Structure 1
């Protein structure tokens, strides 16, 4: 396992390399994955070249951690504060079965008067054979119950979103075409999902997360941190806990996990 700390455009980051040459790069700010290059050298995530990694705004691309609020569904800043704060890299586990790293964020009761709860968030990023695993854990370390939304807002590099389809979110096996702008929460989706694009096919599974959010702004949206035509290069498919917030009593925890796999026969269902 090869792990190095580095600066990318003045932003502190950590890069983990697997035995097959695959790499995953994570910013300390927000514990945001900004790159996942598979063993063939293919970049699987999209990160906007117009979005500064050092901030102060949130980075457009990769996998932002959405917590404790999704979008504007509450009084906090859009998508919550977890993606804006600095996380701490935990010591590496030498005996881990796969190359992985964990980053942690401690929130104090007084950190935000609009969300006065103590908790610890941990994001664990693992390189699997022909895949990537992301696990977000939340522990209520305070004395009061808390509720939250959570999502891993994954920007997949697809080459051309208008030639991309997503299976697994619509009933009766129908495929979702992505030729039009979309911003939709699909509630209670068990998965797995199949994402087919000009960049290849991906198999997506999740647990802990009940919902799936799909987003692409389309050609008419004007976003200052997205280049002209950049909308075509990605689609966001994110495992989420949105429709029904997660509730944690003091001393309890929750975990949401997603696994992204490639080089897999998508015609064969999971057993």
Structure 2
């Protein structure tokens, strides 16, 4: 593993903390007050320019996966971000990072933009807010996700409530389907190999339960949600994941994929994902 990138640590007065890498504007760690690490970070992550960090919360922008002509998940997670501000309040701590267009980004995505990532941590919750402003003189369009890797101890004991009744696209089967009940991860082959985009989730909360631990995932501004786990076979093909890494994580991601966001010149968009240890 390469040495870790430049990062900042937020510490709230109650002991909650978060660590954010400037490389990719990437949330690496979330420790609720009195709790343990809630995010999965691969021990094989690469922290070198042009590479992506595996785990934590990567920022997918301006393209989710292979939904367009850009590199997979866009370029924001591969670029250095700038620290705008960092402060500690009475009950929380906050950091704001920024990414602006450059010659390199305009070469593959010809738009002037500014991204701001705000991370606020305190108590048993963390808020991750992503904002985009169109600084150019033509409309721009993008898809995006906060690719959140939740750490789990026993994937077979995990369920996700709040998805019942939603339609989703199964990228493994390349088919649309309907979620008829809560999502239970039973360890059966084909169930663990999960790659699903759930449409129209909007602001309904998702409850990720593992035995007595519950994480409530709420979103604002994001229409969709992605549930992802590579399973053992796909995980073995990922150079930056240990072979058993799949059993220690589940991605639950706030996303805008089905209906791309379009901004006219001067317009802004804001999306937020909040995680709370119940």
TM-score (norm 1): 0.89
Runs (4 or more) in structure 1 with deviation over 6 Å come to 94-97
Match in the other structure for 2:232: 219
Q: 1:114: how far off?
A: 3.1
Match in the other structure for 1:240: 255
SS of alignment partner, residue 58 of structure 1: coil
Q: 1:115: how far off?
A: 1.3
- Provide the C-alpha distance between the structure 1 equivalents of 2:143 and 2:127, rounded to a whole number of angstroms: 20
Match in the other structure for 1:268: none
- Provide the C-alpha distance between the structure 1 equivalents of 2:139 and 2:102, rounded to a whole number of angstroms: 14
Superposed CA RMSD: 1.9
TM-score (norm 2): 0.87
Q: 1:160: how far off?
A: 1.8
Alpha-carbon distance change, 96 to 31 in structure 1, aligned in 2, over 3 angstroms: farther
Alpha-carbon distance change, 199 to 215 in structure 1, aligned in 2, over 3 angstroms: farther
Q: 1:92: how far off?
A: 3.0
- Provide the C-alpha distance between the structure 1 equivalents of 2:205 and 2:94, rounded to a whole number of angstroms: 23
- Provide the C-alpha distance between the structure 2 equivalents of 1:12 and 1:54, rounded to a whole number of angstroms: 11
Q: 1:113: how far off?
A: 2.9
1:198-254: per-residue Cα shift (whole Å, max 9, x none)?
Answer: 471101110100000000011111211111211000000000000110000000000
- Provide the C-alpha distance between the structure 2 equivalents of 1:139 and 1:24, rounded to a whole number of angstroms: 26
- Provide the C-alpha distance between the structure 2 equivalents of 1:142 and 1:26, rounded to a whole number of angstroms: 28
Asked whether the equivalents of residues 169 and 212 of structure 1 are also in contact (C-alpha less than 8 Å), the reply is no
Q: Larger deviation: 125-134 or 96-105?
A: 96-105
Q: 1:110: how far off?
A: 6.5
Q: 1:54: how far off?
A: 3.5
SS of alignment partner, residue 232 of structure 1: helix
Asked whether the equivalents of residues 168 and 175 of structure 1 are also in contact (C-alpha less than 8 Å), the reply is yes
Q: Larger deviation: 185-194 or 198-207?
A: 198-207
1:15-70: per-residue Cα shift (whole Å, max 9, x none)?
Answer: 01111111100000110001111212400000000112335420110000000000
Count of aligned residue pairs for this structure pair: 256
List runs of 5+ in structure 1 lacking aligned partners: 1-7, 265-271
List runs of 5+ in structure 2 lacking aligned partners: 167-179
SS of alignment partner, residue 130 of structure 2: strand
Alpha-carbon distance change, 110 to 43 in structure 1, aligned in 2, over 3 angstroms: closer
Q: 1:136: how far off?
A: 0.1
Alpha-carbon distance change, 95 to 159 in structure 1, aligned in 2, over 3 angstroms: closer
Correspondence for 1:100 among 94, 105, 108: 94
Q: 1:171: how far off?
A: 1.6
SS of alignment partner, residue 117 of structure 1: coil
